[in-house]
Structure 1
Amino acid sequence: MPLTWTPTLDRALAVAARCHAGQTRKDDPTPYITHPVAVALIVSDFTDDEDVAVAALLHDVLEDVPPSVYSAADMIADFGDRVTELVRGVSEEKTAGEETPPWRERKEGYLARLAEDSRECLLISAADKIHNLRSMVSAHGRLGDDMWGVFNAGPQEKLWFYGAIADAVAERLGDCAATRELRRAVDDVVALAPVR
């Protein structure tokens, strides 16, 4: 079902745009706000729950924006406990401006939480990863194998992580649109990986 725009979604977009102002995607100068918008659009293919779409727009705010700019308390005040819990559920264990744990440790923590997360968190995570993977295919079209050098981890590590998410989503949600789209996106990137 297509995303129906509401005043709440409009407020969430304004917050996300302000919080991500000046940020760009890893692989090109595209403004970062395009990513949460894409995630919200993708997740709207899987659910018509407005809170899930709002959380999709805000999904990177708590891990990428310093609390002095926008905190969990701000999010609760603006959008309520449920949206904030959904955003927390799909956030890595890191705080903007503080020392970040190693890549593998962060990803293993994310996967451990995903095993316990709500169905709604799984849908947001799937939509997030689908957009990331589609962006990787697009970047590979521009950069070829140099695309892999943009990331904090090599091709095999990236593919391990995305494959593990696809497995977790499939195990928890079964055969559904989110599972199928995520698996297809993973397979598309696997086909681009350099031969070891």
Structure 2
Amino acid sequence: MPLTWTPTVDRALAVAARCHAGQTRKDDPTPYIAHPVAVAMIVSDFTTDEDVVVAALLHDVLEDVPPSVYSAADMTAEFGERVTEMVRGVSEEKTAGQQTPPWRVRKEGYLAQLADDSPECLLISAADKIHNLRSMVAAHGRLGDEMWGLFNAGPDEKLWFYGAIADTVCQRLGDCAASRELRRAVDEVATLAPKG
């Protein structure tokens, strides 16, 4: 069932919009809030669980927003422990010490976490990556191979990461709409990678 308006979803959208104010996507000047909204819409194709949709709207808040702006405690007070745990489950560790760990280290940590995450976290992660991959296809349509230069990692690394997520989602959730759609999106982006 597609995304349905509820007072809680509305509140989560307001929090996400406030937390991501002024941020834009990597591949174009689109306001960042378009991404969590798209992820929530995609995840609502896979589940009717309101907490999962709310966590999808908030999925980048703990990773990208300083706790002084909006903390895990704020999220728990407003949306409950289950939502906060799902958001934690799909968040990369960027604050280990003072310096952000290297790209590969962060991605390996994310994959290790995903291997033990709940099925709900796997759905959110799948929806997140499906949107990222679809955005890459659209950006490639506009920019050609220059699109790859927008990211912190090259095509081989990106495809390794997205392929590994697809493998984990397929292994953990089996043959379902989310795993099929994620695999399709990975395969489509793989056809765009520069040859040779």
**TM-score bucket of the superposed structures, by smaller chain:** over 0.9
* Paired-residue identity, %: 86
- Does residue 127 of structure 2 align to residue 127 of structure 1? yes
1:174 alignment counterpart: 174
User: TM-score when scaled to structure 1?
Assistant: 0.98
Structure 1: segments with no counterpart, 5+ residues: none
Task: Tell me how far apart the structure 2 counterparts of residues 95 and 56 of structure 1 sit (CA, whole Å).
Answer: 21
Deviation at 1:22, TM superposition (A): 0.2
1:43-101: CA deviations, max 9, x gaps?
000000000000000000001000110000000011010000000000001149x4210
After the TM superposition, which segments of 4 or more aligned residues of structure 1 sit over 3 Å from their partners? none
- Does residue 78 of structure 2 align to residue 78 of structure 1? yes
1:60 alignment counterpart: 60
Aligned length: 196
Give the 5 Å matches for 1:13-24: 13-24=13-24
Give the 5 Å matches for 1:1-196: 1-95=1-95, 98-196=98-196
Task: Tell me how far apart the structure 1 counterparts of residues 173 and 189 of structure 2 sit (CA, whole Å).
Answer: 22
Alignment-mate amino acid for residue 153 of structure 1: A
Task: Tell me how far apart the structure 2 counterparts of residues 2 and 37 of structure 1 sit (CA, whole Å).
Answer: 12
Task: Tell me how far apart the structure 2 counterparts of residues 95 and 41 of structure 1 sit (CA, whole Å).
Answer: 29
Task: Tell me how far apart the structure 1 counterparts of residues 71 and 3 of structure 2 sit (CA, whole Å).
Answer: 26
User: TM-score when scaled to structure 2?
Assistant: 0.98
Is the CA contact (8 Å cut-off) linking 1:55 and 1:84 kept in structure 2?
A: yes
Task: Tell me how far apart the structure 2 counterparts of residues 81 and 95 of structure 1 sit (CA, whole Å).
Answer: 21
Is the CA contact (8 Å cut-off) linking 1:62 and 1:95 kept in structure 2?
A: no
Q: CA RMSD in A?
A: 1.2
Deviation at 1:3, TM superposition (A): 1.4
Alignment-mate amino acid for residue 6 of structure 1: T
Structure 2: segments with no counterpart, 5+ residues: none
Task: Tell me how far apart the structure 2 counterparts of residues 43 and 108 of structure 1 sit (CA, whole Å).
Answer: 24
Task: Tell me how far apart the structure 2 counterparts of residues 106 and 6 of structure 1 sit (CA, whole Å).
Answer: 34
SS at match of 2:26: coil
Task: Tell me how far apart the structure 2 counterparts of residues 95 and 73 of structure 1 sit (CA, whole Å).
Answer: 17
1:99-121: CA deviations, max 9, x gaps?
21000000000000000000000
